């Protein structure tokens, strides 16, 4: 498969696996890279040693390119920047902030840098300071999200930039992939569908909630205070909603409690399998995800479906 991204980083299929905090470890990322996509290890909020162990493991699993996602809100972000430079990680993606201050360092180490950008302005800034590509993530995505939808932001960033654009958020199968390629994206990033990969080590209760989810089952917490996060509705998101209603009426809302409620919530769902009080971060396409498959099967199904729907439309239109 020819793609600008494929040539840039040496992958066979233009599919990235999202660097999901607490979830995207060497097991999942290694399987994705081995299957010809780009597996990405999540830095999340983890300390350097934890991420280093995963980097060492992925090098055992595959010789193919892989990435590390640096979550810029993490207290360990600087340490993870040092780590990816020391370990010769080929690709870095960043999220939840502006990576400008690290860019020169990445470039010195020949690392391909691909920031997630929630707007045209940040995308243009990233291109100017040397980003190799950008990931444009719509608010259909799971986890921490921006304000715009994939359908609206992808073509606007494509028009404003010359570097390749990877589309993310709401891309649950080959139909979604074909759609964003039509919008001008060069590749896709997929999170939610990989949550149920056989190689994904997330707790089985988490997987079961994704497979059970319907179209209307995600919600966004902290729309007014703190960081908006999309997750499957449960007792935790109900509690967020209740607190938000109370605090919205106050002149000086108490913001600390939102952080406290969020602390450890993702770990609770991912590691302990507490899907009532933990945060089941997932995108709006969770309703499309119906079965556990290997990472290879997931990638192959995106590619074959994309070809199929493209060919069908071409024969109708051309
Ligand atoms: O980062 C993500 N998704 C995430 S991070 C995460 S861990 C977390 N948990 C609770 C609260 C906050 C984080 C779970 N899911 N996606 C990439 C992404 N990046 N989405 C939005 C952004 C973003 C937002 C603002 C990127 C840049 C940005 O820049 C603002 C600025 O400083 O200019």
| Model pLDDT for residues 24-43, shown as the tens digit of each residue | 999 999 999 999 999 999 99
pTM over 0.95: yes
| Model pLDDT for residues 254-277, shown as the tens digit of each residue | 888 887 788 799 999 999 999 999
107 pLDDT band (50/70/90 cuts)?
Answer: very high
| pLDDT surpassing 80 at residue 1 | no
Cα(310) to centroid(ligand 1), Å: 32
Cα(145) to centroid(ligand 1), Å: 6
Confidence (pLDDT) at 32? 98
Query: Smallest Cα–Cα separation from 166: which of 120, 119, 131, 134?
Result: 134
220 pLDDT band (50/70/90 cuts)?
Answer: very high
CA distances from 300 to 77, 216, 288, 295, 297 (A): 33, 27, 16, 9, 5
| Model pLDDT for residues 167-219, shown as the tens digit of each residue | 999 999 999 999 999 999 999 999 999 999 999 999 999 999 999 999 999 99
* Count of other CB atoms within 10 angstroms of residue 12: 16
* Closest C-alpha to ligand 1, atom 28: 97
Cα(313) to centroid(ligand 1), Å: 35
* Closest C-alpha to ligand 1, atom 8: 144
**Where are the strands (E) in the chain, listed by range?**
15-17, 39-42, 66-71, 91-95, 112-117, 134-137, 143-144, 165-168, 187-190, 218-221, 229-232
Domain ranges of the chain: 4-201, 214-281
| Model pLDDT for residues 230-261, shown as the tens digit of each residue | 999 999 999 999 999 998 899 888 888 887 78
- The CATH architecture one would assign to domain 4-201 is Alpha-Beta Barrel (3.20)
* Count of other CB atoms within 10 angstroms of residue 189: 28
Measured CA to CA, the distance from residue 70 to residue 54 in angstroms comes to 14
Confidence (pLDDT) at 263? 79
Cα(98) to centroid(ligand 1), Å: 9
What are the DSSP calls for 14-60, one per residue?
Answer: SEEEP--TTT--HHHHHHHHHTTSBEEEE-TT--HHHHHHHHHHHHH
DSSP summary character for residue 132: S
């Amino acid at each position: 498969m020819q793609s600008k991204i494929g040539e840039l980083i040496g992958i066979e299929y233009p599919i990235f696996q999202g660097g999901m905090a607490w979830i995207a470890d060497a097991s999942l990322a290694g399987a994705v890279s081995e299957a010809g996509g780009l597996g990405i290890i999540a830095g999340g909020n983890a300390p350097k040693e934890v991420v280093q162990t995963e980097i060492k493991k992925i090098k055992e699993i595959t010789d193919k390119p892989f990435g590390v996602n640096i979550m810029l809100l993490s207290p360990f972000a600087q340490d993870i920047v040092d780590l990816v430079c020391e370990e010769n990680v080929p690709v870095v993606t960043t999220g939840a902030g502006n990576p400008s201050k690290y860019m020169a360092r990445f470039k010195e180490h020949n690392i391909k840098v691909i920031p997630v950008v929630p707007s045209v302005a940040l995308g243009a800034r990233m291109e100017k300071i040397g980003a190799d590509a950008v990931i444009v993530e719509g608010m259909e995505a799971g986890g921490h999200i921006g304000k715009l939808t994939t359908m609206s932001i992808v073509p606007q960033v494509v028009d404003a930039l010359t570097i390749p654009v990877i589309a993310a958020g709401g891309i649950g199968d080959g139909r979604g992939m074909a759609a964003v390629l039509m919008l001008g994206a060069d590749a896709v990033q997929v999170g939610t569908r990989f949550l149920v990969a056989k190689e994904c080590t997330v707790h089985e209760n988490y997987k079961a909630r994704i497979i059970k989810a319907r179209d209307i089952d995600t919600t966004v917490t902290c729309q007014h205070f703190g960081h908006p996060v999309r997750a499957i509705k449960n007792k935790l998101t109900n509690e967020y909603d209740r607190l938000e209603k109370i605090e919205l009426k106050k002149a000086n809302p108490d913001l600390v409690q939102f952080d406290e409620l969020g602390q450890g919530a993702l770990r609770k769902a991912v590691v302990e399998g507490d899907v009532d009080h933990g945060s089941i971060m997932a995108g709006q396409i969770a309703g499309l995800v119906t079965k556990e498959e290997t990472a290879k099967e997931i990638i192959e199904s995106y590619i074959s479906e994309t070809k199929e729907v493209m060919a069908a439309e071409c024969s109708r239109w051309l």
